[in-house]
A and B are shown apart, each in its own frame.
Chain A
Amino acid sequence: MESCAVLKPQQTAGNVAVKGQTTDALEPFTSHVAQLDKGLVQCTLRVLKMNGSTMLFLHAKDSNRLDELAVAMPARPPSKDTIGTTFMGESGQSDSLVMATKLSARYGRQFYVSMNIRLDNLTRPVFEKELVTYMKDNLQHFV
């Protein structure tokens, strides 16, 4: 019977992925959970930081659903576009895809986003601002 050994968790703060970079040594995954409850929308944010990509789950505080999942990533150079798709839940331009595209364009990194909150034209910009501010303040958990 082969044995299993738990690896020591390593926190690598501030490890910003460079576009197109490939490394032989894989970084361990890190995860983080936070409550965003200062603004109009109260939600729970879960993050999984992987090698070159980040996964975000956003859901309302009182529910814990996984309905949508979308991915967005920078296109291959020389193109500066961001490409993405929704692969679970609503087809077409889902909230998750919009958010993944924005984050991917901002950080030049692949983002998986599962956004399970209903937002309207009033609450969306407020929420996005709150999320971006939180990400900026806690960048080591995201990129």
Chain B
Amino acid sequence: MSEIGFKKQFAIDINGINTEFVFHVFDNKWMLLITQLGKLPALYNVQFDVGRDERVIPMLHGPIHSPEMHVSVPVTMNCCMGADSDEIRGGIQFLVNETTLNKCPTELLIGLGLKQLDSPGLREIAKVLDQGVF
């Protein structure tokens, strides 16, 4: 078996659905592909409005995980390719808030292609990212 071509590339079963993960660190970008569709989903470029080392005020720069006082990490997302939807943007923002993705020092190129975009699925993905990718 040959060497894998990226920092991480594996498939895992999430809530009964085979999910492919590909992660690689480029000099100027992190790339993360998560798909249950067997192909590349819509791609988004995520820019962090406040740099990793400049997020010093949690109330402003997030993330704060509290139902009463939730604060997200401020990002700007651009859909580079594919269908642009609020659901996918919300899913990406959730993963940025909940995982080490918010420690990305550069931009992030992310593809999130889930058959069903729901909270349990996203939580499982966040767990896989923190345990298996970062």
Contacts and interface: CB of A to CB of B under 8 A. Distances in A.
A18 interface: no
Q: Determine the interface band of chain A, counting residues with CB < 8 A from chain B.
A: 35 or more
A141 B2 contact: yes
Contacts of A112: 40
Contacts of A55: 40
B86 to A, nearest CB: 20
Interface residues of B, number: 36
A31 B6 contact: yes
Contact of B9 (A48, A51, A64): A48
Contact of B45 (A9, A31, A88): A88
Contact of A4 (B25, B80, B128): B128
Interface of A: 2, 4-7, 9, 11, 26-29, 31-33, 46-48, 50-53, 55, 57, 59, 63-67, 69, 71, 87-88, 112, 141
Interface of B: 1-6, 9-15, 18, 20, 22, 24-29, 31, 33, 38-40, 43, 45, 80-81, 109, 120, 124, 127-128
